[in-house]
A = this chain, B = another copy of it.
Amino acid sequence: MSKVPPVLLDQQLCFSIYSASKKFNHFYQSALAPFSLTYPQYIAMLVLWEDAPLTVHQLGERLELDSGTLTPLLKRLEKQGWVSRVRSQTDERQVLIHLTEMATAKREEVYARIGQCQTLLGMTDKEIDDTMAELATVKSQLDTVSRQRLITKDIDSDN
């Protein structure tokens, strides 16, 4: 009975976003190649440059990543000399992520590189703000829906 409309990949907002996300990844990954930073490593550094030291948990809240992702990522950043991981004295459950001197020294250089990337992108501040505003709408919808004990099977019943 039920004749449901076809779902075309090219009309899916999710794929649009998925694809854009991957392209941005590559873009920054190559722009940051001189620093040997992957994109997730780069955004971790951004947060740390804003606010270090931070616990793994605090960093994870900003990046929306959990320790399963962050622990190995931070170990790699440590091995490459960007951060140090230090057990907190006051609460031994926590690990504090500190910037190294190298990280502090390279901050401006990375900022400058990112500035160039933004220039290359060639979007006006307004275009960027508008796009981010639309994405914020999408994200808040997704959060709301996810929180609402998602879709129950029985909505399907048009058979």
**CA of A10 to CA of B73, assembled, Å:** 21
**CA of A26 to CA of B158, assembled, Å:** 26
**CA of A2 to CA of B2, assembled, Å:** 64
What is the count of identical protomers in the complex? 2
In the complex with contacts A31-B151, A131-B138, A134-B130, A158-B50 CB distance below 8 A: no
* Number of A interface residues in the complex (CB < 8 A): 74
- Give the residue among A2, A63, A134, A150 with the most B Cβ atoms within 10 A: A134
- Asked if A137 and B158 sit within 8 Å, CB to CB, the answer is no
- Flag whether A132 is at the interface (Cβ < 8 A): yes
- Asked if B112 and A141 sit within 8 Å, CB to CB, the answer is no
**Nearest chain B residue, comparing its CB with the CB of A145:** B120
**Per-position 1/0 for A25-36, Cβ under 8 A of B:** 111101100100
- Asked if A17 and B20 sit within 8 Å, CB to CB, the answer is yes
